[in-house]
Chain A
Amino acid sequence: MKDILRRHQVLSEEITDILNKQVKIEAQSSASYLALAAWCDVRGYDNCAAFFFKQSEEERKHQMKIFRYLTDMECNAISPAVAESQYEFGSLREVFEKALEMEISVTDAIHDIVRACRKAGDIATEEFMRWFVQEQIEEEFVARRTLELFDVLGEDKIALGMIEERVLHVEYDGGEEG
């Protein structure tokens, strides 16, 4: 009897499910970033808006990366339904708080996938997820750093102006000096 299972099922059902869940999380966070961008844009925080538009695009790329992995593995990739995003915020700081919260929950979800891969002995998917683990270190770093700008500079008009100026220059240096 031919081993059709091994020939066609590269990923287990459990791993397929959890990856599809992640596709949805990335889509949701892409949509949420758009909402944050819109909030900033209408209030004249152009750079903050640009920052969140860029984040939104990144999340979309993450979503597609996992989606393509599923289809490449001949698995059933599900195009996700995305819920309504939060549009109401009391301040610019709150917007960045929301961004950090989102990144932390994405990181947790990614780590859950890695754990599931280890449990299932799925070495290939674990290896595939390595990039995402690294990416989340950067994303969380940037979200935390931008939020720290509020602690350092405050929240008056001048401070918000300075945050506008700096927000596009917050980058993760990969732990290197300088």
Chain B
Amino acid sequence: MTTETVTSSLGVLIFSTDNTHLYQCDTTEQFTLVFFGQKVVFRFCELIVFKSKIRKIDLFNLFNTDVPDIELIHLPHCDRFFALSTLQILELRELFSGSFAMMELNSIIQRRIVRKAL
């Protein structure tokens, strides 16, 4: 495991899975999701909305053979639709749980070490 911070023009890389990455830009306070080659920019509250939509998808329903195993997700902030397969949903869930664990960890570090010194 490497501890070095990966930065790019999109900001700091928070977390990655095989096909998805989430970056945080400290200057704009925006997040960039790179998802199977597509890029979507979120403000924090938009990211939370997207995350909870992904969390609330009923996967069992997608396994049901009577319905197509694709879930349509609307992103109101940029007016785009994602058609997500079961595997993509699982990968996004993994990305979000990893990313938010990292953000919580960062938050603890900031509270215990950085802000405490102020």
- Interface set of A (CB-CB < 8 Å, partner B): 1-9, 13, 17, 74-76
In the assembled complex, the Cα of A4 lies from the Cα of B106 at a distance in Å of 9
Q: Which residues of B sit under 8 angstroms from A5, Cβ to Cβ?
A: 44, 100, 103-104, 106-107
Task: Establish whether residues B52 and A1, one from each chain, have CB atoms under 8 Å apart when the complex forms.
Answer: no
Which of A7, A74, A76 contacts B29, CB < 8 Å? A7
Task: Establish whether residues A6 and B107, one from each chain, have CB atoms under 8 Å apart when the complex forms.
Answer: yes
Chain A minimum-CB-distance residue to B104: A5
Least Cβ–Cβ distance between B33 and chain A, in angstroms: 14
In the assembled complex, the Cα of A1 lies from the Cα of B14 at a distance in Å of 9
Q: Which residues of A sit under 8 angstroms from B45, Cβ to Cβ?
A: 8, 74-76
Which of B24, B52, B111 contacts A6, CB < 8 Å? B111
List 20 contacting pairs A-B, 8 Å CB cutoff, sorted by A.
A1-B5, A1-B26, A1-B106, A2-B24, A4-B29, A4-B44, A5-B104, A6-B110, A6-B111, A7-B44, A8-B44, A8-B45, A9-B44, A13-B48, A13-B52, A74-B44, A75-B45, A76-B45, A76-B49, A76-B52
B12-52 interface bits toward A, Cβ cutoff 8 Å, 1 = contact, 0 = none: 10000000000010100100000000000000110011011
- Interface set of B (CB-CB < 8 Å, partner A): 5, 12, 24, 26, 29, 44-45, 48-49, 51-52, 100, 103-104, 106-107, 110-111, 114
Contacts A3-B106, A5-B100 aside, 11 further interface pairs with beta carbons under 8 A come to: A1-B12, A2-B26, A3-B107, A3-B114, A5-B104, A7-B44, A8-B44, A13-B52, A74-B45, A76-B45, A76-B49
Chain A minimum-CB-distance residue to B46: A76
Task: Establish whether residues A2 and B44, one from each chain, have CB atoms under 8 Å apart when the complex forms.
Answer: no
Q: Which residues of B sit under 8 angstroms from A8, Cβ to Cβ?
A: 29, 44-45
In the assembled complex, the Cα of A5 lies from the Cα of B102 at a distance in Å of 10
Which of A2, A3, A6, A76 contacts B48, CB < 8 Å? A76
In the assembled complex, the Cα of A4 lies from the Cα of B110 at a distance in Å of 11
